[in-house]
Amino acid sequence: MADYICQMTNRIKVAHLSSAHPPADTRIFYKECRTLAQAGYEVVLIIPHDRDEIVNGVRIRAVSKPTSRFDRMMSTVREVYRAALEEDAIIYHFHDPELIPVGILLKNKGKKVIYDVHEDLPRQVLTKPWIKPFLRRVVGAGAQAVEKFCAHYFDRIITVTSTIAERFPENKTTIVHNYPILEEFAGTDFIPYQKRNPLVVYVGGITVIRGIKEMVNAMNLIPETLGARLVLAGKFSPPALENDVSSMAGWSNVEYLGWQSRDEVADLLSKARIGLVLLHPTLNYMDAFPIKMFEYMAAGIPVVASNFPLWRKIVSEIGCGLVVDPLNPQAIADAVQWLLAHPVEAELMGKRGQDAVIKKYNWHTEAQNLLDVYQSLVK
C-alpha cells in the first residue's frame, strides 16, 4: 500500500494550517507532515514562524507571529487563510478550532478539508483562565454546537481519542492517536538504568493545571539522602508563573532547562530515572491519552501518573509505574521515593512500558491510519 500511495501522490499538494502551534509541533510537523512527505505528497505547513524554510521534505511557509491572543484570532487567522489560498493545494488539513471559518471558506472553494481535533474543546473551555468562570459552561456548550454543526462541512475529521470522536459523525471520523515515534528513542545512547543519577523529569507545557506546583512541592518532601532532582523541559505558561514557582521551597531541588528539541528530550530521558505526568483531574484531561506518558515509556523509564481511571488502567495492566492523586504532593513524593529506593523494580517497570510501546503504543500504526484518510480523499 505504501508504494501505491507514493506512486499515486507525487503531484498531490497538501497544506497543513495552524495559527496557534509552533512550527516544530510534535504531532503536526514530526508525525503528520513528515509522514505525508515520506509517502510522496507535496507538503506545505502554513504556520507562525520567523522564516520560510524546507525541513525534512516539508516546506514551511511562515506567517507573522501573533503579539497577543486577540492578534492571533484576527490577524494571524487572516494571514493563514490568504497563504492557504495562494498555495492552491488539493487537500487542506487544519489544527486549531479558530481556523474553522477558514476551513469552511476553503471547502466552499471546492477544496478537500480535514479538521484535526487535538483537544476536547467543550471540556477544555471549562479550564481556560481567560474566560470568566460564570461564562465557561455557556462558551463550552456553544463551542460544542459550533463544532458539531461545522463538522458536516468538512470531508474528514481526525481526533486523538475515542472520547472526542464520539462527538463527530462516525462515517467521516478517524482516530489517529498521538503515540510516540519509536525511532526518536532508538539511537539514543542510554545510560544503564541503575547507574543513572536520581533524576526525575517532566517534559511539556509548564502550567498550574498540569501540576507544576504539586511537583515542586513534592521535591521538598523527598528525603535529602536520596539526592533527587526534578528536571523541567518546557515553557512556563503564563511566563509570570516561573517567578511564582521559583519562590517555592522545593525549587532548590529543581533544574529548569526551558524548551528542548526532540533530540534533546530523547537525550534527557536516556539519563532519567522517573517521568512525571501529573495533570489535574479536569474533564479535558481525564479521558486524554498523554503523549508524554508514552514517551517516558518509550524511553524505558517508569512513570508516576495521575490516578485517572483510564490512566490507572493503562499503567496497572502494563505494570509500568505508579498512579497517585495529582493534587497531593505527599503522595507524589512517596511514589518518587519508592521508585528511587527500589531501582530493580523501577527498571522492570520501565522495560515493561517500553515493550508495550514497541508492540502497541507507537506512531507506526497511527501513521497508516493517517495515510488511509488521505488515500480516501485522493480517490
Looking at the DSSP bridge assignments, the partners of residue 201 are 231, 275
Res 283: pLDDT: 77
- The most confident of the ranges 79-83, 279-283, 288-292 is 79-83
Q: Is 94 exposed, middle or buried (0-12, 13-18, 19+ CB in 10 A)?
A: buried
Q: Is the pLDDT of residue 138 over 70?
A: no
CA 237 and chain centroid, separation: 15
Each domain of the chain, given as residue ranges in start order, spans: 2-179+362-378, 183-359
**pLDDT, tens digit, for every residue of 67-77?**
998 899 899 99
**183-359 maps to CATH 3.40.50.2000:** yes
Per-residue pLDDT of 145-171, as tens digits, reads 777 778 888 999 999 999 889 889 999
The pTM score is: 0.86
Instruction: Quickly state the pLDDT bin for 9 (edges 50, 70, 90).
Output: very low
Separation of alpha carbons 341 and 332, rounded Å: 14
Domain range 2-179+362-378, CATH architecture: 3-Layer(aba) Sandwich (3.40)
With a cut of 80, say whether residue 104 has pLDDT above it.
Answer: yes
Q: What is the mean pLDDT of the chain?
A: 91
Of 65-79, 217-231, 271-285, the range with the highest mean pLDDT is: 217-231
Placement of cell 498555495 in the chain: 87
pLDDT value of residue 292: 94
Instruction: Reply yes or no on whether the pLDDT at 291 is more than 80.
Output: yes
Band of pLDDT at residue 7, cut at 50, 70 and 90:
very low
CA distance 101 to 122: 18
Mean pLDDT on 236-241? 94
The residue among 265 and 3 whose pLDDT is bigger is: 265
- CA separation for the pair 181, 193 (Å, rounded): 21
- Region 237-241 average pLDDT: 93
Q: In what order do the strands lie in the sheet with 321-324?
A: 254-258, 229-233, 199-203, 274-277, 303-306, 321-324
What sign does the dihedral 163-166-167-173 (CA atoms) show?
positive
Band the pLDDT of 321: cuts 50, 70, 90: very high
Contact 87, 70 (CB under 8 A): no
CA 230/CA 268 separation, integer angstroms = 12
First to last CA, the chain: 14
Tell me the pLDDT tens digit for each residue of 29-42. 999 999 999 999 99
CA–CA distance, 81 with 79 (Å, rounded to integer): 5
Q: Do domains 2-179+362-378 and 183-359 have the same CATH topology?
A: yes
Beta-bridged to residue 92, according to DSSP, are: 15, 113
At 3 the pLDDT is 41
Local confidence band at 122 (pLDDT 50, 70, 90 cut-offs)? low
Q: Which tens digit of pLDDT belongs to each residue from 297-311?
A: 999 999 999 999 999
**Amino acid at site 11:** R
Length of the chain: 379
| Grid cell at residue 154 | 468538512
User: Rg for the chain (alpha carbons), in Å?
Assistant: 21
Structure confidence at residue 364 (pLDDT): 92
198 — pLDDT class (breaks 50, 70, 90): very high
